[in-house]
Amino acid sequence: MAIRTILHYPDPRLRNKGVAVGDVTPELVALIDDMAETMYAAPGVGLAATQIGEPVRLFLIDIAGDDEPSDLRVFINPEITERVGDQTWEEGCLSFPGVTEEIKRAATVKVKALDKAGKAFELEAEGLLAVAVQHEYDHLEGMLMIDHVGPLKKRIMAKKVQKHAQKRK
């Protein structure tokens, strides 16, 4: 396992759409393990393969609290099949370090995908899990949280990312 580099906005690779995964191979399992290590080290609650420069339809989510056991969920070739209601959530993103913004999303989603073993599953999610599924799914579509805000907030978010990058230098 290895910690991978997370791409930061405005890296153009974040706009790449993920391509469907074929079989669950040992290489894919190794990528999943790398992604989990990267996500936990960041720390974050979700990570899409496109965020580490791997343009495949794969993301991970673990919304367990610090005092709870891990609840890592793997979504291979996910498809959101239903969106119901509305909720607004203060979201962050590992590709936008130091930035949070209120984003309006569906309150409940249904998603179908394959798990780490390649077994198909369906999930109905609400609350933070629904937000995380939609957020990571957007990454696979080349969409970012900045695409969900107006022009003024886009400029503010971009400036915050620039300031954070300068602090890291």
- Rounded Cα distance, 160 and 149, in Å: 15
87 has pLDDT over 70: yes
Q: Other CB atoms closer than 10 Å to residue 152's CB: what's the count?
A: 8
Active site residues: 136
Decide if 36 contacts 66 (C-beta within 8 A). no
User: Per-residue confidence at 169, pLDDT binned at 50, 70, 90?
Assistant: low
Q: Is 49 a member of any domain?
A: yes
Q: Is 92 a member of any domain?
A: yes
Q: Is 46 a member of any domain?
A: yes
Segment 93-104 mean pLDDT: 94
Segment 126-160, tens digit of pLDDT: 999 999 999 999 999 999 999 999 999 999 998 98
In the prediction, which pLDDT does 14 show?
98
- Rounded Cα distance, 60 and 47, in Å: 5
Domain count across the chain:
1
| CATH number of the CATH domain containing 64 | 3.90.45.10
61 has pLDDT over 80: yes
Q: Is 158 a member of any domain?
A: yes
With tokens 């949280």, the residue in question is 145
Q: Is 23 a member of any domain?
A: yes
Decide if 109 contacts 133 (C-beta within 8 A). yes
Segment 22-35, tens digit of pLDDT: 999 999 999 999 99
Residue-number span of the structural domain to which 130 is assigned: 12-168
Q: Is 145 a member of any domain?
A: yes
In the prediction, which pLDDT does 71 show?
94
